[in-house]
């Protein structure tokens, strides 16, 4: 199946910030002198002070570094630590979204990682003494959002604004709620522009964005399986894949919330997951030092098949990041706690 290539060495950074701290996007670079399309992959990983961004060409049997950049927040790390980052593609360009406890920053990947947009977010959620970021997601080619414990914050890319982004309102009950807390935010469907908000570890509400008038329609809501303590979420076709503190991956029907089954993937907390949507490969990482690879196959709306394929071990290290480098799953990357390496694997 997979074999390991040369690891990417990170300078002045160890990947110790949080679960699922690795973000990846790819660029199609079609050369004018050739009819072939070259794919360049951008990886971003962080701790609570620094972000390392690496561009690689992984088409051959080595991961060639094309460019690397380090963004340093050390001067403000105590008062304004990094919480979450994500590479997102908007209007066929890739941006780096960086959220700390007090600021939102959006960087261009095309011009030396120049800051395109910056906003103070310290007072966005006045119900909480300390702002906690729970998720960052792209909704469509123009809109991305992030969630704090009590609110979903949306930003739209626009050519009518000098800084390129404008904040948009999400009109829904959680804005005024004192009891509901958003645990996760996940994009469900590209074509229908649906997304889900996980609340209080107990339920998920699925919404649809109506882009013409920027309004929202509630599609459905259902309770999660009892005692589910989710840590990470992915979507595969009509199923939600929910990683849990106990080490299971729950497979839940998006339409009605029915628990279709569980994968006993780890003996400790599932820290990260990713799905190669074209092939159904699922990779999960855990505090138990293992990353495990499965193949998912949807038989019909209510049936699926899971096949275990391979496992990877990082002795005496907790795996914090697992990501495929493309939608076919032919390459993937793994990061571990307090390591200065990104391990790259390629299918043989």
What is the pLDDT, as a whole number, of residue 175?
A: 47
Residue 76 in this model has a pLDDT that exceeds 70: no
pLDDT band, residue 337 (cuts 50/70/90): confident
Q: Exposed (0-12), middle (13-18) or buried (19+): which is 17, by Cβ within 10 Å?
A: buried
Owner of token pair 């299971």: 248
Q: What is the mean pLDDT of residues 156-180?
A: 69
How sure is the predictor about 130, in pLDDT bands with cuts at 50, 70 and 90? low
DSSP 115-133: EEEEEE-TTS-TT-SS---
* pLDDT at 306 exceeding the cut of 80: yes
Q: Averaged over 174-202, what is the pLDDT?
A: 80
Most confident of 15-19, 56-60, 128-132: 56-60
Higher-confidence residue of 63 and 298: namely: 298
Distance in angstroms between the alpha carbons of the first and the last residue of the chain:
6
pLDDT in tens, 26-60: 876 654 455 555 677 899 988 878 888 988 876 66
Least confident segment among 3-7, 288-292, 307-311, 322-326: 3-7
Q: Report the C-alpha gap between 67 and 53 in whole angstroms.
A: 8
Distance of alpha carbon 174 from alpha carbon 170, whole angstroms: 10
CATH assignment, 2-122+224-347? 2.130.10.10
How large is the average pLDDT for residues 58-76?
A: 75
Q: How confident is the model at residue 226 (pLDDT cuts 50, 70, 90)?
A: confident
């Amino acid at each position: 199946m997979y074999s390991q290539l040369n690891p990417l060495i990170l300078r002045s950074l160890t990947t110790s910030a949080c679960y699922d701290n690795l973000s990846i996007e790819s660029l199609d670079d079609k050369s004018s002198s050739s009819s072939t399309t070259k794919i360049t992959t951008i990886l971003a990983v962080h701790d609570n002070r620094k972000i390392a961004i690496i561009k690689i060409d992984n088409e051959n049997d080595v991961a060639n570094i094309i460019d690397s950049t380090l963004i340093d927040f050390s001067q403000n790390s105590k008062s304004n630590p990094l919480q979450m980052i994500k590479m997102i593609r908007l209007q066929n360009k890739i941006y780096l979204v960086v959220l700390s406890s007090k600021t939102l920053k959006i960087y261009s990947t095309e011009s030396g990682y120049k800051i395109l947009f910056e906003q103070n977010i310290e007072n966005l959620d006045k119900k909480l003494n300390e702002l906690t970021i729970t998720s960052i997601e792209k909704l469509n080619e123009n809109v991305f959002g992030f969630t704090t414990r009590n609110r979903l914050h949306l930003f739209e890319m626009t050519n009518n604004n000098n800084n390129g982004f404008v904040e948009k309102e999400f009109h829904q009950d959680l804005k005024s709620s004192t009891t509901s807390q958003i645990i996760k935010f996940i994009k469900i469907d590209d074509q229908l522009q649906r997304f889900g908000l996980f609340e209080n570890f107990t339920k998920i509400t699925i919404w649809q964005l109506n882009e013409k008038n920027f309004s929202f329609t509630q599609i459905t809501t259902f309770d999660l399986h009892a005692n589910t303590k989710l840590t990470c979420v992915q979507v595969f076709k009509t199923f939600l894949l929910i990683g849990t503190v106990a080490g299971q991956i729950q497979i839940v029907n998006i339409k009605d919330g029915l628990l279709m089954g569980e994968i006993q993937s780890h003996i400790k907390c599932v820290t990260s997951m990713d799905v190669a949507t074209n092939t159904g490969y699922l990779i999960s990482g855990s505090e138990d030092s293992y990353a495990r690879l499965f193949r998912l196959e949807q038989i019909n709306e209510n049936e699926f098949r899971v096949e275990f394929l391979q496992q990877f071990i990082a002795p005496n290290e907790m795996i914090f990041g697992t990501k495929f480098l493309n939608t076919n799953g032919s390459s993937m990357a793994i990061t571990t706690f307090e390591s200065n390496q990104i391990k790259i694997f390629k299918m043989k």
